[in-house]
Structure 1
């Protein structure tokens, strides 16, 4: 079980891990080991998510979800497959937790008097500087 929030856990059988060879430099090690790990999670078909959670995730992570409704994350930072798998799982939990956070409504506040005063003083100073640049009128 992968714990996302204190109320939501996703069983590991809903997640698929794919391995492949990493890109970039690394010599013989990269060329012969499949250390890159890709996590695939189908958001639409997940029984552990409610409909509301699915719509939240689909809307907030729409750029990362493909047309099949799958969220794909990959990691190839480390040399070992095990560490890449741990890294991709931690990214997955953080990403889902962020997507499921409720959006707090903004409370309207007044601009403080000191901020208004400061802005007007700066405008006056700027005005004086510009007046000082003009030709004097005799």
Structure 2
């Protein structure tokens, strides 16, 4: 029933690298909440994974460092009433987190300077603002 997590076409985390925990949920479900273990915790040990390359492992460790505890990434799902739907939600959440962390960094910003016309517009706008403030003063202060 447990399926591997597909992060991308080229990266699939096998189910033997995933750890599941179930507990009572605090969400919707009425009296059923008190009897069913519908809350799901899905854990993935990033540092011990066989499917991640060294580059991918380093990128995930860097970008998700605030979410990792001893190299283990854990996601929780408890918004649905059924354990199965929460399992699916946790898998989707884990895949989205890893996909986002594995995205290559954006190209560096090329610094630019404002054009001469833009600088002139800024100075003119400042002059007008100063003039407006000057006109707001009491006549005896001018």
* Superposition TM-score, scaled by structure 2 size: 0.85
Name the CA distance, whole Å, in 2 between partners of 1:92 and 1:12: 13
Aligned pairs for 1:102-117 within 5 A: 102-104=104-106, 105-112=108-115, 115-117=118-120
Structure 1: give runs of 5+ residues left out of the alignment.
none
* Superposition TM-score, scaled by structure 1 size: 0.87
Structure 1 24/85 Cα, relative in aligned 2: closer, same or farther at 3 Å?
A: closer
Residue by residue over 1:44-81, the C-alpha shift from the partner in whole angstroms, topping out at 9 and shown as x without a partner, is 100111111111111110111102x1101001001011
Secondary structure of the structure 1 residue equivalent to 2:59: helix
Q: Does residue 1:63 correspond to 2:66, yes or no?
A: yes
Which residue is equivalent to 2:49? 46
Task: Assess if the C-alpha contact under 8 Å between 2:23 and 2:39 holds in 1.
Answer: yes
Task: Assess if the C-alpha contact under 8 Å between 2:23 and 2:40 holds in 1.
Answer: yes
Secondary structure of the structure 1 residue equivalent to 2:68: coil
Which residue is equivalent to 1:89? 91
Name the CA distance, whole Å, in 2 between partners of 1:137 and 1:41: 70
Task: Assess if the C-alpha contact under 8 Å between 2:28 and 2:80 holds in 1.
Answer: no
Root mean square deviation, CA, Å: 2.1
Q: How many residues align?
A: 137
Structure 2: give runs of 5+ residues left out of the alignment.
none
Which residue is equivalent to 1:122? 125
